[in-house]
Amino acid sequence: MKILFVIDVFNTHSNGTSISAQRFAEELRKRGHEVRILTVGETSDTIFGLQEFKFPFFNNLIHKHGFMYAKCEEETIRKAVEWADIVHHFFPFALTAKTQKVVDELGKPSTAAFHVQPQNITSSLMLGKCEWANNLLYRIFRNKIYNRFGHVHVPSRFMGEELKKRGYTAKIHAISNGIQSDFKWMKRAKAPEFEGKILIMMVGRLTQEKRQDILINAVKHSKYGDRIQLIFAGTGPTDKMLHRIGQKLVNPPIFGYYTKEELMDKLAQCDLYVHASDMESEAISCIEAFATGLVPVISDSDLSATKQFALDRRSLFRAGDPEDLARAIDYWLDNPEEKARMEKVYAEAAKNYDIEHSVALFEEMLLEAIEDHKKQLEANQWKLPVGETVLPHGRKSA
């Protein structure tokens, strides 16, 4: 197949959806498909390049979230869609709306993905827990974008249920974004600067909804607080605030942006992994962490799918409660033998999220969408007046 990915920002390592798109493209190519990307950037053999759409006053904030919006340049969009056998959209924004209009005009099959929870957007406006604002965005996404598709990919069953109960009409395909095979059991001796310290890591953008502040405050309540060294992998708009509150700890947190290899090295030295986010559609970073042999401690937030990865209650804490997080951390540190046993259990469980399996399921969704599209064209053929036919691009011919 010739598969076109439509995604505003692709070539970045600070956005989880973009990283998943990169990995899916790589795996699909291994399976013999051609994959090209319609995105912000320079045109190349694999990229249909678009210019960035810049928002006055808000562009710096958008960049801090690891994002860019694409200009909807019709000539490039049309060229990309004409090339494709099927088009897959990643974000519910203007680029998807415009591209899908061209897709419909040219009579091509298409699918979409739901990776962006409304709370990811409203949280940046301090409205993350404002129910009316989130419900409004869900309705806008549904009516303007997702109900135009017959097939929608979601990264977790949790997100699939959210869409179904909100009136989304597409067939929902719950497929994990998957992890690469090199995230597997690994343990390494701690670097000299970490000797005698307890290393706890959290990976993700530094934003309000990720709640890195809960982990920092939990250390203050832990009996091991004077030995704990937090490591935060990520960048984002709450960076300065987290640095400020982290200075109150005996061991101020370490913040950094890490390559994949550097991240794996840090995970291999750590003692625990914490995922404190209030809202999450999956959290691949959490799977990668327990795949390497770290027991996770995860928020039980009703707005987060990540809690599905906890194998029992010992790996959960009450959302937004630093004292309860400290309790969970202390339990695992108090019981090193049980922690060592569960590290192996979690690493084994991570094998269920292999990216090759995820991409195989994704491929099946694309093929199903193509077949449904063919059936729809055939059905429409019967509805036309005598002497008219439907051409491949969707227009009628006498």
- In this structure, is residue 185 part of a structural domain? no
Same domain, 133 and 80: yes
Same domain, 76 and 167: yes
Same domain, 102 and 246: no
Among 352, 369, 389, the domain-final residue is 352
Domain of residue 323 covers 192-352
CB-based contacts of 278: which residues, under 8 Å, 6+ apart?
119, 128, 129, 209, 210, 211, 299, 301, 303, 304, 319, 320
- In this structure, is residue 102 part of a structural domain? yes
Same domain, 200 and 333: yes
Label residue 116 left, alpha or beta by phi (over 0 means left) and psi (-120 to 50 means alpha): beta
Same domain, 7 and 148: yes
pLDDT, mean over the chain? 92
- In this structure, is residue 158 part of a structural domain? yes
Q: Where are the beta strands (DSSP E) in 60-144?
A: 69-70, 86-89, 110-113
**Total residues belonging to the chain:** 398
- Secondary structure element (H or E) that encloses residue 195, with its range: none
Contact 84, 3 (CB under 8 A): yes
Same domain, 157 and 61: yes
Give the model confidence (pLDDT) of 352-387 as tens digits: 999 999 999 999 999 999 999 999 888 876 554 545
Q: Cβ–Cβ contacts within 10 Å for residue 30, how many?
A: 10
Structure confidence at residue 393 as a pLDDT band (50, 70, 90): very low
Q: Using CB atoms within 10 Å of the CB of residue 155, give its burial: 0 to 12 exposed, 13 to 18 middle, 19+ buried.
A: buried
- In this structure, is residue 186 part of a structural domain? no
Give the model confidence (pLDDT) of 53-96 as tens digits: 988 777 777 777 678 899 999 999 999 999 999 999 999 999 99
User: 199 versus 120: which is more confidently predicted?
Assistant: 199
Give the span between the Cα atoms of 27 and 361, in whole angstroms.
12
- In this structure, is residue 142 part of a structural domain? yes
Same domain, 302 and 203: yes
CATH number of the domain bearing residue 321: 3.40.50.2000
- In this structure, is residue 184 part of a structural domain? no
Same domain, 96 and 128: yes
User: Mind spelling out the 3-state secondary structure of 272-316?
Assistant: EEEECCCEECCCHHHHHHHHCCCCEEEECCCEECHHHHCCCHHHE
Residue 388 has pLDDT above 90, yes or no: no
Same domain, 145 and 221: no
pLDDT of residue 382: 57
When divided into structural domains, the chain yields a total of 2
Same domain, 163 and 212: no
- In this structure, is residue 336 part of a structural domain? yes
- In this structure, is residue 197 part of a structural domain? yes
Give the model confidence (pLDDT) of 114-154 as tens digits: 999 988 888 877 777 788 999 999 999 999 999 999 999 99
From the list 341, 306, 304, 250, the residue with the least C-alpha distance to 128 is 304
Same domain, 141 and 198: no
What secondary structure letter does DSSP report for 252?
P
Same domain, 16 and 161: yes
Coil, helix or strand at residue 71 = coil
